[in-house]
Structure 1
Amino acid sequence: MAQQPTALVTGASRGLGRALAADLSADGWRVVVDARHGDALADAVAGLPDVVDVPGDVADPAHRATLAETVDDLGGLDLLVLNASLLGPSPQPRLADYPLDVLEQVLRVNVLAPLGLVQSLGPLLRPGARILAITSDAGAEPMDGWGGYGTSKAALEFLASVLAVENPQWHVLVVDPGDMRTVMHQEAFPGEDISDRPEPETVVPALRVLVDGDHPSGRYRAADLAPVTS
């Protein structure tokens, strides 16, 4: 890229979002980041060069408009990372017992908000831009107790596949990072020891394979793209 590349990474106050934002920043990218909690977001990106933090909830249309204005002021976007996500209740209830009002909230954050971001930022995506939609194995296969979250990720994956067909000028890349040692993963398994899971930073090289390469739109597993070290 002749000009400094620009990325927007949602859910960047911790976990994979923060790890990817830090890696891009260190590699000379200009990075816009968001998360619901402004103080945590500011702490997470403190000291990172060329990072603009815009706190807010991706499910809020006004916040998405602010993100679009920020990106517009920077001249456009090369990479949109749809990472912000909502797990739902912890522990995960079975679908027959899932509170519908909570499921509605999960779908709003995990499905409608990503589409809203694409709608808001689409005109600002440069030719050949990458859209990375972070998914889960729960979105590809039925798992006991994961019906709510899995349904939202399955919907996100289908949404991404349609966007790819309708917008061949973009690389719409759905990526399953695998299990990681994150707050969300701990919430999914309350009381369990997840210290054997790899840190999010170990997954970033696989994401960079998609960001920096010329992979066609589709679904990818991080484990198939690059070695993940513990």
Structure 2
Amino acid sequence: MTSPPLRTAVVTGASRGLGRALTEQLTHDGWRVVVDARHPDDLTFDSARVTVVAGDVADPGHRRRLAEVVDGLGGLDLLVNNASRLGPSPQPHLTDYPLDVLTDVLAVNVIAPLALVQALRPFLHDGARVIDVSSDAAVEAMDGWGGYGASKAALDHLTAVLAVEEPQLRVYAVDPGDMRTAMHQAAFPGEDITDRPLPETVVPALAPLIAGELPSGRYRAVDLVVTS
């Protein structure tokens, strides 16, 4: 009997945190995963199902290379836009926010995910999933989080419009909640964040988005854990 074809995913920002934990779970579940991050030395995985394409998702040449790899693999079933830029640490008030840094945050957190969808759209199978990793900062006005929060709010809206325009796909924004990651530590320099959950504990909440029948929309990981 012929084996079913391998499902293929792209996970950006996969060198650490949620991206790495999700990649490890996907390969465990039989997926073939194309991963990227800016630092190739951090992109080491034990599974032969992982294809490493090191680079910056904000770089058009890198996105073209990802598209070429996906084309060679026969198409795509899942795109996870996980790569993000926090911005300054500690987080400044908006009146003090360096505008050149804000431009970089928006380029990585807003423009790059859309640009990657555009680059990979010809290879997304009908029914494929697009998951954009958002934040509670996208919907809450929190002191010091104006730059990052604005970028994630814009990403949320792009995700919602993409869902309307591409009904043959399932398009999700997901707020994973606070996690014990290097980025979260950078957001709270000098503070003890060991009370935050590890990214590995959040990954199971993404399963309904990856393989379930939930409609396109914005979800919180904490709610998916409760309802899945």
**Secondary structure of residue in 1 paired with 2:26:** helix
Deviations 1:64-100 (A, max 9, x none): 0000000000000000000000000000000010000
Match for residue 20 of structure 1?
22
Match for residue 113 of structure 2?
114
For 1:135, the aligned partner's letter is S
Match for residue 141 of structure 2?
142
The CA distance in 1 between the partners of 2:173 and 2:214, in whole Å, is: 11
Deviations 1:144-192 (A, max 9, x none): 1000000000000000011011000010010000000000000000000
The CA distance in 2 between the partners of 1:194 and 1:115, in whole Å, is: 31
The CA distance in 1 between the partners of 2:48 and 2:55, in whole Å, is: 21
The CA distance in 1 between the partners of 2:109 and 2:185, in whole Å, is: 19
Q: CA deviation at 1:211?
A: 0.3
Match for residue 6 of structure 2?
4
Q: CA deviation at 1:125?
A: 0.3
The CA distance in 2 between the partners of 1:103 and 1:206, in whole Å, is: 30
| Superposition map of 1:183-222 within 5 A | 183-222=182-221
The CA distance in 2 between the partners of 1:2 and 1:53, in whole Å, is: 23
The CA distance in 2 between the partners of 1:122 and 1:2, in whole Å, is: 23
TM-score w.r.t. the length of structure 2 is: 0.97
Count of residue correspondences: 224
Q: CA deviation at 1:226?
A: 1.1
Q: CA deviation at 1:49?
A: 3.0
Structure 2 unmatched ranges of 5 or more: none
Q: Percent identity?
A: 68
The CA distance in 2 between the partners of 1:26 and 1:49, in whole Å, is: 11
For 1:113, the aligned partner's letter is A
1:180 aligns with 2:185: no
Whether the 8 Å CA contact 1:5–1:29 is kept in 2: the answer is: yes
The CA distance in 2 between the partners of 1:10 and 1:156, in whole Å, is: 15
| Superposition map of 1:96-111 within 5 A | 96-111=95-110
Match for residue 36 of structure 2?
34
The ranges of structure 1 where at least 4 consecutive aligned residues each deviate by more than 2 angstroms after the TM superposition are none
The CA distance in 2 between the partners of 1:6 and 1:62, in whole Å, is: 21
Whether the 8 Å CA contact 1:26–1:49 is kept in 2: the answer is: no
Q: CA deviation at 1:2?
A: 3.9
**Secondary structure of residue in 2 paired with 1:203:** helix
